[in-house]
Homo-oligomer: A and B are copies of this chain.
Amino acid sequence: MEETSKNKQSSIILALDFPYQGKQERGNLLTKAKNLLDTVSPYICAVKFNHHLTLPLGIFDGVQALVEQAHKRGLLAIMDCKVNDIGNTNNVIAEYYYDAGFDAVIANPFVGLEQGIKPILDVATERHRGVILLAYMSHKGAAEGYGQTIRDAETGVETKQYLAFARKAARWNADGVVVGATVPEKIREIRFVLGEEVPIYSPGVGAQGGSVEDSVKAGARYLIVGREIVHADDPAYRAETLRQKAELAK
Protein backbone atom coordinates (compact mmCIF):
# COMPACT_ATOMS: atom_id res chain seq x y z
CA MET A 1 0.00 0.00 0.00
CA GLU A 2 2.82 2.36 0.94
CA GLU A 3 4.57 1.68 -2.36
CA THR A 4 1.39 2.21 -4.41
CA SER A 5 0.69 5.43 -2.57
CA LYS A 6 4.25 6.65 -3.23
CA ASN A 7 4.05 5.74 -6.93
CA LYS A 8 0.78 7.56 -7.34
CA GLN A 9 1.85 10.43 -5.05
CA SER A 10 -1.58 10.19 -3.50
CA SER A 11 -3.02 9.09 -0.17
CA ILE A 12 -6.61 9.38 -1.36
CA ILE A 13 -8.73 6.21 -1.46
CA LEU A 14 -11.91 6.44 -3.49
CA ALA A 15 -14.97 4.92 -1.82
CA LEU A 16 -16.79 3.83 -4.98
CA ASP A 17 -20.25 4.06 -3.41
CA PHE A 18 -23.41 4.89 -5.31
CA PRO A 19 -26.80 5.51 -3.71
CA TYR A 20 -29.39 2.74 -3.61
CA GLN A 21 -30.80 2.08 -7.10
CA GLY A 22 -34.24 0.63 -7.75
CA LYS A 23 -34.54 -2.34 -10.10
CA GLN A 24 -34.94 -0.19 -13.23
CA GLU A 25 -31.81 1.89 -12.71
CA ARG A 26 -29.45 -0.92 -11.74
CA GLY A 27 -28.50 -1.65 -15.35
CA ASN A 28 -26.35 1.50 -15.59
CA LEU A 29 -24.49 0.98 -12.35
CA LEU A 30 -21.51 -0.95 -13.70
CA THR A 31 -20.89 1.54 -16.53
CA LYS A 32 -21.23 4.49 -14.16
CA ALA A 33 -18.76 2.88 -11.76
CA LYS A 34 -16.29 2.07 -14.57
CA ASN A 35 -16.40 5.60 -15.90
CA LEU A 36 -15.96 7.20 -12.51
CA LEU A 37 -13.06 4.91 -11.66
CA ASP A 38 -11.32 5.78 -14.94
CA THR A 39 -11.83 9.51 -14.47
CA VAL A 40 -10.55 9.56 -10.93
CA SER A 41 -7.81 6.90 -11.07
CA PRO A 42 -4.84 9.25 -11.74
CA TYR A 43 -5.41 11.04 -8.41
CA ILE A 44 -5.95 8.15 -6.01
CA CYS A 45 -3.97 5.19 -4.65
CA ALA A 46 -6.74 2.68 -3.99
CA VAL A 47 -10.45 1.98 -4.35
CA LYS A 48 -12.65 0.90 -1.47
CA PHE A 49 -15.76 -1.10 -2.35
CA ASN A 50 -18.80 -1.57 -0.16
CA HIS A 51 -22.19 -3.22 -0.50
CA HIS A 52 -23.45 -0.27 -2.57
CA LEU A 53 -21.89 -2.16 -5.48
CA THR A 54 -21.43 -5.76 -4.35
CA LEU A 55 -25.16 -6.28 -3.66
CA PRO A 56 -26.60 -5.00 -6.96
CA LEU A 57 -23.69 -6.19 -9.16
CA GLY A 58 -22.48 -9.38 -7.46
CA ILE A 59 -18.80 -9.86 -6.65
CA PHE A 60 -17.92 -12.26 -9.47
CA ASP A 61 -20.02 -10.54 -12.09
CA GLY A 62 -19.63 -6.80 -11.94
CA VAL A 63 -17.33 -6.06 -9.04
CA GLN A 64 -14.50 -8.37 -10.08
CA ALA A 65 -14.26 -6.45 -13.40
CA LEU A 66 -13.93 -3.18 -11.45
CA VAL A 67 -11.25 -4.70 -9.22
CA GLU A 68 -9.32 -5.77 -12.33
CA GLN A 69 -9.75 -2.29 -13.80
CA ALA A 70 -8.37 -0.80 -10.56
CA HIS A 71 -5.35 -3.11 -10.67
CA LYS A 72 -4.67 -2.17 -14.31
CA ARG A 73 -4.59 1.48 -13.25
CA GLY A 74 -2.00 0.64 -10.58
CA LEU A 75 -4.51 0.89 -7.74
CA LEU A 76 -5.19 -1.43 -4.82
CA ALA A 77 -8.71 -2.69 -4.07
CA ILE A 78 -10.12 -2.89 -0.53
CA MET A 79 -13.40 -4.59 0.38
CA ASP A 80 -15.16 -2.74 3.17
CA CYS A 81 -17.23 -5.68 4.38
CA LYS A 82 -16.70 -4.94 8.09
CA VAL A 83 -16.64 -8.70 8.69
CA ASN A 84 -17.93 -9.54 12.16
CA ASP A 85 -19.11 -13.12 12.09
CA ILE A 86 -17.93 -16.39 13.64
CA GLY A 87 -14.54 -17.57 12.43
CA ASN A 88 -15.80 -20.27 10.09
CA THR A 89 -17.99 -17.74 8.25
CA ASN A 90 -15.33 -15.01 8.33
CA ASN A 91 -12.97 -17.42 6.65
CA VAL A 92 -15.45 -18.21 3.86
CA ILE A 93 -16.15 -14.48 3.36
CA ALA A 94 -12.45 -13.62 3.13
CA GLU A 95 -11.79 -16.47 0.67
CA TYR A 96 -14.51 -15.25 -1.70
CA TYR A 97 -13.43 -11.61 -1.58
CA TYR A 98 -9.79 -12.56 -2.12
CA ASP A 99 -10.93 -14.79 -5.03
CA ALA A 100 -12.62 -11.74 -6.55
CA GLY A 101 -9.22 -10.03 -6.48
CA PHE A 102 -9.41 -7.83 -3.40
CA ASP A 103 -6.07 -6.94 -1.83
CA ALA A 104 -7.52 -6.39 1.63
CA VAL A 105 -10.73 -6.79 3.62
CA ILE A 106 -11.95 -4.68 6.53
CA ALA A 107 -13.01 -6.50 9.71
CA ASN A 108 -14.46 -5.57 13.09
CA PRO A 109 -12.21 -6.58 16.04
CA PHE A 110 -15.30 -6.58 18.29
CA VAL A 111 -15.75 -10.30 17.44
CA GLY A 112 -12.52 -11.13 19.25
CA LEU A 113 -9.54 -13.17 18.15
CA GLU A 114 -10.39 -16.82 18.83
CA GLN A 115 -12.86 -18.26 16.29
CA GLY A 116 -13.35 -14.64 15.21
CA ILE A 117 -10.58 -12.54 13.60
CA LYS A 118 -7.94 -15.32 13.71
CA PRO A 119 -9.32 -17.31 10.74
CA ILE A 120 -9.30 -14.12 8.62
CA LEU A 121 -5.71 -13.31 9.59
CA ASP A 122 -4.74 -16.90 8.72
CA VAL A 123 -6.25 -16.85 5.24
CA ALA A 124 -4.79 -13.38 4.63
CA THR A 125 -1.30 -14.59 5.55
CA GLU A 126 -1.71 -17.69 3.39
CA ARG A 127 -2.85 -15.68 0.38
CA HIS A 128 -0.58 -12.66 0.98
CA ARG A 129 -3.45 -10.24 1.35
CA GLY A 130 -4.34 -7.62 3.92
CA VAL A 131 -6.71 -7.22 6.88
CA ILE A 132 -7.66 -3.76 8.10
CA LEU A 133 -9.45 -3.43 11.45
CA LEU A 134 -12.00 -0.88 12.59
CA ALA A 135 -10.98 1.28 15.53
CA TYR A 136 -13.42 4.21 15.49
CA MET A 137 -16.06 4.94 12.88
CA SER A 138 -17.07 8.28 11.40
CA HIS A 139 -20.78 8.46 12.36
CA LYS A 140 -22.40 9.91 15.49
CA GLY A 141 -23.58 6.57 16.92
CA ALA A 142 -19.92 5.41 17.02
CA ALA A 143 -19.72 7.02 20.45
CA GLU A 144 -22.07 4.33 21.83
CA GLY A 145 -19.82 1.41 20.94
CA TYR A 146 -16.36 2.51 19.79
CA GLY A 147 -16.40 5.38 22.27
CA GLN A 148 -17.61 3.46 25.30
CA THR A 149 -15.58 2.88 28.43
CA ILE A 150 -14.69 -0.76 29.05
CA ARG A 151 -12.84 -2.62 31.75
CA ASP A 152 -9.80 -4.19 30.14
CA ALA A 153 -10.05 -7.96 30.63
CA GLU A 154 -6.30 -8.39 31.08
CA THR A 155 -5.27 -5.39 33.17
CA GLY A 156 -8.57 -4.77 34.99
CA VAL A 157 -8.10 -1.05 34.22
CA GLU A 158 -10.81 1.10 32.63
CA THR A 159 -10.01 2.14 29.08
CA LYS A 160 -11.72 3.36 25.93
CA GLN A 161 -13.01 0.74 23.50
CA TYR A 162 -11.16 2.32 20.54
CA LEU A 163 -7.84 2.27 22.38
CA ALA A 164 -8.35 -1.41 23.23
CA PHE A 165 -9.06 -2.04 19.52
CA ALA A 166 -5.91 -0.14 18.51
CA ARG A 167 -3.79 -2.21 20.92
CA LYS A 168 -5.30 -5.40 19.53
CA ALA A 169 -4.67 -4.27 15.94
CA ALA A 170 -0.99 -3.73 16.79
CA ARG A 171 -0.71 -7.04 18.64
CA TRP A 172 -2.45 -8.97 15.84
CA ASN A 173 -0.26 -7.35 13.17
CA ALA A 174 -3.18 -5.82 11.29
CA ASP A 175 -2.32 -4.07 8.02
CA GLY A 176 -4.13 -0.93 9.08
CA VAL A 177 -6.89 0.48 11.23
CA VAL A 178 -9.89 2.64 10.33
CA VAL A 179 -10.49 5.82 12.34
CA GLY A 180 -13.08 8.41 11.25
CA ALA A 181 -11.85 11.75 9.90
CA THR A 182 -14.69 13.25 11.94
CA VAL A 183 -12.74 12.54 15.17
CA PRO A 184 -9.17 13.85 14.62
CA GLU A 185 -8.47 13.87 18.37
CA LYS A 186 -9.06 10.11 18.37
CA ILE A 187 -6.81 9.68 15.32
CA ARG A 188 -4.07 11.32 17.42
CA GLU A 189 -4.65 9.04 20.44
CA ILE A 190 -4.76 5.93 18.27
CA ARG A 191 -1.66 7.02 16.31
CA PHE A 192 0.15 7.23 19.66
CA VAL A 193 -0.92 3.67 20.60
CA LEU A 194 -0.04 2.23 17.18
CA GLY A 195 3.27 3.96 16.56
CA GLU A 196 4.41 4.15 12.94
CA GLU A 197 3.96 0.47 12.10
CA VAL A 198 0.22 0.28 11.49
CA PRO A 199 -1.23 2.95 9.14
CA ILE A 200 -4.51 4.75 9.82
CA TYR A 201 -7.21 4.82 7.14
CA SER A 202 -9.59 7.70 7.65
CA PRO A 203 -13.10 7.86 6.13
CA GLY A 204 -15.62 10.66 6.57
CA VAL A 205 -13.93 13.54 4.73
CA GLY A 206 -16.36 15.96 3.11
CA ALA A 207 -19.98 14.73 3.16
CA GLN A 208 -19.61 13.53 6.75
CA GLY A 209 -17.78 16.67 7.89
CA GLY A 210 -14.18 15.46 8.30
CA SER A 211 -11.25 17.65 7.20
CA VAL A 212 -8.25 16.46 5.15
CA GLU A 213 -5.76 18.70 6.95
CA ASP A 214 -6.93 17.86 10.49
CA SER A 215 -6.93 14.12 9.80
CA VAL A 216 -3.49 14.08 8.16
CA LYS A 217 -1.97 16.28 10.86
CA ALA A 218 -3.48 14.02 13.53
CA GLY A 219 -1.78 11.00 11.96
CA ALA A 220 -4.02 9.57 9.24
CA ARG A 221 -1.95 7.99 6.43
CA TYR A 222 -4.80 7.40 3.94
CA LEU A 223 -8.02 9.33 3.42
CA ILE A 224 -11.11 7.48 2.25
CA VAL A 225 -13.44 9.75 0.28
CA GLY A 226 -16.77 8.73 -1.20
CA ARG A 227 -19.68 11.07 -1.72
CA GLU A 228 -17.44 14.17 -1.79
CA ILE A 229 -15.90 12.83 -5.05
CA VAL A 230 -18.69 10.60 -6.41
CA HIS A 231 -21.30 13.37 -6.31
CA ALA A 232 -19.00 16.22 -7.38
CA ASP A 233 -19.73 18.04 -10.65
CA ASP A 234 -16.15 17.32 -11.64
CA PRO A 235 -15.00 14.21 -9.74
CA ALA A 236 -11.45 14.26 -11.19
CA TYR A 237 -10.91 17.88 -10.19
CA ARG A 238 -12.28 17.21 -6.70
CA ALA A 239 -10.06 14.15 -6.26
CA GLU A 240 -6.99 16.08 -7.43
CA THR A 241 -7.80 18.97 -5.06
CA LEU A 242 -8.10 16.56 -2.14
CA ARG A 243 -4.87 14.80 -3.18
CA GLN A 244 -2.97 18.08 -3.17
CA LYS A 245 -4.47 19.13 0.16
CA ALA A 246 -3.36 15.84 1.71
CA GLU A 247 0.16 16.10 0.25
CA LEU A 248 0.53 19.64 1.58
CA ALA A 249 -0.71 18.66 5.05
CA LYS A 250 1.90 15.89 5.42
With a cutoff of 8 Å between Cβ atoms, the chain B residues found around residue A68 in the complex are: none
Contact A92 B20 (CB under 8 A): yes
Residue among B50, B116, B118, B139 making CB contact with A116, cutoff 8 Å: B139
Is A85 an interface residue when CB atoms closer than 8 A count as contact? yes
Q: Which of A149-157, A188-196, A236-244 faces chain B?
A: A149-157
| Copies of this chain, count | 2
Contact of A141 among B61, B91, B112, B149 (CB under 8 A): B112
Complex contact B96–A144 (CB within 8 A): no
Q: Which of A13-70 contact B (CB under 8 A)?
A: 17, 19-20, 22-23, 26, 50-52, 55-61
- Interface status of A232 (Cβ within 8 A of chain B): no
Instruction: With both chains docked as a complex, state the minimum distance between the C-beta of A95 and any C-beta of chain B, in angstroms.
Output: 5
Size of the chain A interface, CB-CB below 8 angstroms: 59
Q: Which of A117-164 contact B (CB under 8 A)?
A: 117-118, 137-146, 148-151, 153, 158, 161
Which residues of A approach B to under 8 Å, CB–CB?
17, 19-20, 22-23, 26, 50-52, 55-61, 80, 82, 84-87, 89, 91-93, 95-97, 99, 108-118, 137-146, 148-151, 153, 158, 161, 208
